[in-house]
Structure 1
Amino acid sequence: MSAITNDAEFDMTLGQSPAPSDVADVYDGIGQIYGAAWGPNYHYGYWDDDNDHASIEAATDRLTDMMIDGLRGQSGQRVLDVGCGIGHPALRLVQKSGVDVVGISVSHVQVAQANELAAGAGLADKATFQFTDAMDMPFADGSFDSAWAFESMWHMPDRAQVLSEISRVVRSGGRLAIADVIERGPVSPEGRKVLDHVCANYAVKSLGTIEEYREALAANGFVDVDIRDVTANCNRTLAVMADAVETRRDELNALVGEEQAQSLLDFMRLSAVTPEQGYVFLTATRA
């Protein structure tokens, strides 16, 4: 296993709030290689246990379906997708629930890809995607029936501010679902190195904790909070993703160089077995 080193392409000052352009750079650059290797569901997968040998596609769809079930969406409702990526989970939400989705991202590349994907699926009238900063949304108060944030909250400079904005634009009684990478304690010195590396190189100011989520949700008007630590079900993703990205090694080498490419792959495999890097699935209701 190689030592942890900074990924030169994305090196940031630890603790510095990522700008929207920093987040976009991650997903528009190396994220395109990750996406090509991983598939359209560019998020973690969910496996029931160590004996579950579900494919990447099945495991990632399973996590998407958990989010869909958490929203309890109904035909005709309007859902906000905070940090929509290329829109694949949002389109699955539309197809399974009949809702209308507005997705937002700080990546012009992702917005364009998401709108193209929606048009190709014949869902352009049900799912639209736009360039918008989740910290300052242009939407009217109470204009959505529900919202989700699918692995986007860890990139936010201020998660409480984003939750405040979501609370503002979601009507009373509306549902919220979040899937996010988190910090789990107690944190060992080696675990801290891994978490710090994530923050310094992937446009992350800090990884939140379950307790911080509870406090921020309560402070921003969310009730009936249900939080599940699903680290044991999801962290296999990182090792499986490393294997998938290995198949695109020539592209990765061309982007960051052979040494950095190896460091990236080693780091993903290290993260998969670092218990301090966790994963959470939560739902709540806007009071």
Structure 2
Amino acid sequence: MTIEQSPAPSDVADVYDGIGQIYGSAWGPNYHYGYWDDADDTSSIEVATDRLTDMMISGLDVRPGQRVLDVGCGIGHPALRLVRTGDVDVVGISVSHVQVAQANELAAAAGLAEKAKFQFTDAMDMPFPDGSFDAAWAFESMWHMPDRGQVLSEIARVLRPGGHLAIVDVIERGPVSPEGRKVLDHVCENYAVKSLGTVDEYRTALAANGFVDVEIRDISDNCNRTLAVMADAVETKYDELAALVGEEQATSLLAFMRLSAVTPEQGYLYLAAVRA
């Protein structure tokens, strides 16, 4: 298998500030995967992405008035859904100034600026006091982190004892074939992905950082359809994408999204845990 694609931006902020803006205009406000119940589920991407958000909200088990940390907040749409559903206060962090500005604008437009605040912050070195949050979540941001263990250590530090953590993330599923390895390596090299974790690595890192009552579910079969659906959506914005990266790159980006959707070694997990 040959993967023909020139490099996409390698910096996390560059990915989301550039190509990500086109993806978002085609995809909608949820910059994350969707969840379908089974192969016969014909839910729209809007329904499927909100369904995954609701799964994460359930994992946090928050109560009104609590304070939640959103690690890698994107443009804040899941956070605003959490605020509305749980009546909580959210602080979202991102390394994209563009996304932070958009998230604060969305919160203001929704009348939720006092409940949802977003700021530029490195998740590996957060400026928050110990025990200052009741819960935390990370929506597909952990695969961009240079050191997931360090991020989990920081999350554990800023969570109070008994605080809940929920994560969804793209992962590596073994055994990995040579063809699958090419796809996974290409993802890491071209999409500002530092590395793809595994279920076992997450279990080890969570235990090392004081998390208990760990629930991990491989939900790849429910979520990997996202990539094919996203390719269809982005194709409707082909001219904008080609203007940004060139026609050859635009065509190869779409082809790679479709290839990733049928690569079983690229998986997706949901986890919930409690800070001891």
1:80 aligns with 2:79: no
- Choose which of 76, 82, 87 in structure 2 pairs with 1:93: 82
**Partner SS state of residue 8, structure 1:** coil
Match runs of 1:24-173 below 5 Å:
24-173=13-162
Q: How many angstroms does 1:169 deviate by?
A: 0.1
The answer on 1:213 being equivalent to 2:202 is yes
Residues 195-210 of structure 1 mapped to structure 2, 5 A cutoff: 195-210=184-199
Q: Distance in 1 between matches of 2:243 and 2:44?
A: 28
Paired residues for 1:256-275 under 5 Å? 256-275=245-264
One-letter identity of the residue aligned with 2:263: T
1:260 & 1:203 partners in 2: Cα distance?
A: 17
Give the TM-score, by structure 1 length: 0.95
Is the Cα contact below 8 Å between 2:130 and 2:160 reproduced in 1? yes
Alpha carbons 1:28, 1:107 under 8 Å: kept: yes
- 1:225 corresponds in structure 2 to 214
The number of aligned residues is 276
1:37 is paired with a residue whose SS is helix
Distance of 1:232 and 1:216 partners within structure 2:
24
Correspondent of 1:190 among 151, 158, 179 = 179
CA contact (8 A) 2:83 2:90 kept: yes
2:124 corresponds to which letter in structure 1? M
Matched with 2:4 is 5
The 8 Å contact of residues 3 and 263 in structure 1, kept in 2 or not, is answered as no
User: AA paired with 1:105?
Assistant: S
Contact 2:143 2:196 in 1 (8 A): yes
- Residue 205 of structure 1: how far off its partner (Å): 1.5
- For structure 2, the 5+ residue unaligned runs are none
**Aligned mates of 2:41, 2:68 — CA distance in 1:** 32
1:15: which partner in 2?
Answer: none
Equivalents in 1 of 2:32, 2:16: separation in Å?
Answer: 12
Residue identity matched to 1:143? S
Indicate the percent of aligned positions where both proteins have the same amino acid.
Answer: 81
1:180 matched residue in structure 2: 169
Shift of 1:253: 0.5
Q: Which runs of 5+ in 1 are unaligned?
A: 13-21
Separation (CA, whole Å) in 1 of partners of 2:119 and 2:232? 32
Q: In the aligned structure 1, how far is the partner of 2:38 from the partner of 2:107?
A: 33
Deviation, 1:5, is: 2.8
Alignment deviations for residues 97-134 of structure 1 (CA, whole Å, 9 cap, x no partner): 00100000000000000000000000000000000000
Amino acid aligned to 2:42: H
